[in-house]
Structure 1
Amino acid sequence: MTSSTDNTEPTNSGSVKDDLTQGDRTGESQATDNNASNANSIENEAPPEPSDGTDEGPVEPEEEDLRNQFLRVMADNENLRKRTEREVAAAKKYGPLSFARDLLSSIDNLEKAIALIPENKSEMDETLKNILIGVDMTGREVASVFERHGISKIDPSGEKFDYNLHQAMFEVPTDEVEPGTVVQVVQLGYLLHDRLLRPAMVGVSKAAQPESSESVED
């Protein structure tokens, strides 16, 4: 009896040990499979793409309205800036318009006086000669100032009549030039840059009337 019992116990102990070893192996195998599965799952997950800030999702109506209002304000400010620059430039360019126009009558009188100065001054009184020289120098200085500020004369002798720059005072019948040609300048005109200070007062040619048969018989 004792011998039978002793032989049985080692057999049971070896079976339990085998069962534990097999269980450990099974657990290790499951753990390895789980780790491999997790690793595969991580590898299969695509990494998030970096955002460039443009994909902000749907825009709310309130945000869209604010954005449109901001763009309109920016456009209005830009238009105001450009208009202000144009007005400032025009004020600098055409600022002396009224002042220059008021000077024209004085310039006309000065030029009339200069036109009366004789070319030969040798026989003149010295005082009168100096006065005339001063008048001539004043006229030259005024012309220089006018040119410096963009004021130019309009002297259209021999040119075609331009209603933008000339004012016809009378017509002259003639066959020597084409009709509509300026044949006489009564008063010079002036421009301030591209703006008219005063039109030139002119006489304009027109076709001469043929002589009547009665005048030929006479």
Structure 2
Amino acid sequence: MSDNEDLQSAEENQEVAPEEQKLTFEEQVETLTAELNKALEEAETHKDVAVRAKAESENIRRRAEREVSNASKFALERFAKEILAVVDSLEKALEHPVEGEAQTSMKEGIELTYKLLIDTLNKFSIEQIDPLGDAFDPGLHEAMVMQESAEHEPNSVMNVIQMGYSLNGRLIRPARVIVAKGKSPEIDEKA
């Protein structure tokens, strides 16, 4: 080969080389674009997982706080249920009629003890439910008997057999009540 042929061959190689480089550059752009898209998809997936994990940890934290709060609020529930028997006994003692000065003094002592016990229960958020005259609520009251009454509204509490109690707004014992029902219509015997 002569120098001319070598030079011509070199020029052809140079002409081909930029086209090959151009194709290679385009291929590289496509490859890099595909890799970038794949990385973005993976980043989005990881972001989604991270957001879900954060939300789950927040839910666990809130649930734990609520459980701790409820545990402290309602720790007295078992004790309160047991002490209500004492309250009931004092209420029954106060129902008995008084005969003589000695019994009057004793009743006054029982009344003071009862008031002190109720005040102590209130200090610890144990509230008495006295539904006398209220509409019957099966969520708060336990109907022991239904009686006809012309003096009371139908479906209202006309007498309380045993007081109900709640602890921090949660029912620990329903009030046991007698509920009024409407007077039955008189049947005309002449008919």
TM-score by length of 2: 0.69
How many angstroms apart in 1 are the aligned matches of 2:188 and 2:43?
91
Partner of residue 121, structure 2 = 146
SS of the aligned residue for 1:167 comes to strand
Amino acid at match of 2:185: P
SS of the aligned residue for 2:158 comes to strand
Higher relative contact order (CA 8 A, sep 6+): 2
Match of 1:163 among 138, 159, 182: 138
How many angstroms apart in 2 are the aligned matches of 1:203 and 1:91?
34
Match of 2:102 among 124, 148, 165: 124
How many angstroms apart in 2 are the aligned matches of 1:175 and 1:134?
38
Q: Is contact 1:180-1:206 (8 Å) kept? A: yes
Amino acid at match of 1:100: A
Give the Å deviation of 1:114.
3.6
Amino acid at match of 2:92: K
User: What is the number of residues matched between the two proteins?
Assistant: 154
Match of 1:182 among 135, 140, 157: 157
Larger Rg: 1
1:58-207 map, 5 Å: 60=39, 61-116=41-96, 118=98, 123-124=101-102, 129=105, 132-207=107-182
More divergent stretch after superposition (202-211 vs 142-151): 202-211
SS of the aligned residue for 2:161 comes to strand
Query: Percent identity among equivalent residues?
Result: 36
Q: Is contact 1:173-1:207 (8 Å) kept? A: yes
User: CA 1:114 to 1:176, structure 2 compared with 1: closer, same or farther past 3 Å?
Assistant: closer
SS of the aligned residue for 1:185 comes to strand
Gaps of 5+ in 1: 1-56
How many angstroms apart in 2 are the aligned matches of 1:144 and 1:155?
15
Give the Å deviation of 1:192.
1.0
Give the Å deviation of 1:177.
2.3
Amino acid at match of 1:97: E
Report the RMSD for the aligned CA atoms in angstroms: 2.7
Give the Å deviation of 1:79.
1.4
Partner of residue 29, structure 1 = none
